[in-house]
Amino acid sequence: MKKSSFIKYTVGLASIAMIFTVFTSSAFAAQSTTGSSTALTKIITRGDSAITARISAMNTLETKVQAMKNLSSSEQSSLTQTLQTNVSNLTTLKSKLDADTDITTARTDTKSITADYRIYALVNPQVNLLAASDRVTTIGGMMTTLGTQLQTKITTAQSAGKNVTALQAALADMTTQVSNAETQAQSVVSGISSLVPDQGNTTVATSNKTALTTARTDIKTARTDLKTARQDIKTIVQGLH
């Protein structure tokens, strides 16, 4: 092969190699961009779903708070404000997340959903326990009213010559059980109504967890007390008949 032909041949191979390299690099870059875009979309979609679920849960909790009859107006207002603030902040976060253009930022925003908005760790159990406490207090009030009516009937029966010793004892026990249940219910309110999200603070997180655990025990005890009070009522009613 002549020298000039060899040079042309070599230059041709180099050109082909360069074209192939450029083509391969472009294809890889396009593939990488597509992959990144898909991953970003998945992160945003997952984050949006988590935010929507939390907003829905908080709206449900706000309805529960508004329905509470025995919570003080200041406690009720404070809980409502907390829920509404979280809904507003999460709505803003969703807009930011939807506008994210890189994976790192999207992951950071998605992580903040669980780190900064402790709806499932604190707010959800907090409101549900307060609602349970509210029901205990409401039922306790109804039983107290019934107790007054039963006392009237017992007194009437006694005046008619009936031995009401057992009935009077049952009524006294009912009164005690109701009082105990209401005390437990108030303990729940005092213990958890002012809790705030830990925002990643382990000390606050531990304190919140302890308070919620204690509140659950108090509610369980209160329900047992009311169950005993119901049995006392049943005993009195049957005795009067």
In angstroms, the CA 167 to CA 202 distance is 53
Predicted pLDDT of residue 51: 95
Which pLDDT does position 234 carry in this prediction?
97
pLDDT of residue 18: 58
> Which pLDDT score is estimated for 14?
53
From residue 137, how far is each of 62, 130, 151, 216, 227 by CA, in Å?
19, 11, 21, 15, 14
Q: According to the model, what pLDDT value does residue 117 have? A: 81
Ramachandran sector of residue 161 (left: φ over 0; alpha: ψ -120 to 50; beta: rest)? left
Q: Are 150 and 232 in contact (CB under 8 A)?
A: no
The residue behind tokens 């009082």 is 179
- Whole-number Å distance between alpha carbons of 62 and 111: 25
Q: Taking the chain (241 residues) in consecutive chunks of 10 residues, what is each chunk's mean pLDDT?
A: 53 53 51 70 94 94 93 89 91 95 93 85 93 96 97 96 96 98 97 88 93 98 98 96 87
117: left (phi over 0), alpha (psi -120 to 50) or beta: beta
Position 114 scores a pLDDT of 84
DSSP annotation of 200 reads: T
Phi, psi at residue 100, to the nearest 5°?
-60, 140
Residue 109: burial class (beta carbons within 10 Å; 0-12, 13-18, 19+): buried
| List of residues 6+ apart from 44 with CB closer than 8 A | 97, 98, 100, 106, 110
226 touches 146 (CB < 8 A): no
Q: Taking a C-beta distance cutoff of 8 angstroms, is the pair 81, 194 a contact?
A: no
Burial of 26 (0-12, 13-18, 19+ CB in 10 A): exposed
pLDDT reported for residue 5: 58
